[in-house]
Amino acid sequence: DVKVTQSSRYLVKRTGEKVFLECVQDMDHENMFWYRQDPGLGLRLIYFSYDVKMKEKGDIPEGYSVSREKKERFSLILESASTNQTSMYLCASINQGSGNTIYFGEGSWLTVV
């Protein structure tokens, strides 16, 4: 059973704190993605990665960075959290070469106070 695991379901952080959101998949997928989901805005792509140490900016990368040191792990970093980064963060992975299935994590609810 494929799993995409996000390490934290619910977090509350203070403005200015550094925040790490971890995502791990166990199917040797090349492609991994980080989204945030906000009401009325859908899923907006923050960053994606198609291989180890490779990363590409999505539609809203400002205020975020990512790390892909190992194939199975894709981390989203908020260097200095702000209240407008309060959101639900969703990780996803897919197999680059074949297959049509997108695997999602359960989501991480981040509140910045």
12 burial type by CB count under 10 A (0-12 exposed, 13-18 middle, 19+ buried): exposed
> Closest approach of Cβ 37 to other proteins, in Å?
9
Q: CB count, 10 Å around CB of 91?
A: 26
Residue 58 found at the interface with other proteins (CB under 8 A): yes
| Residue closer to other proteins (CB basis): 38 or 79 | 38
Footprint of other proteins (CB under 8 A): 31, 33, 35, 40-45, 48, 50, 56, 58-59, 92, 94, 96, 100-102, 104, 106-107
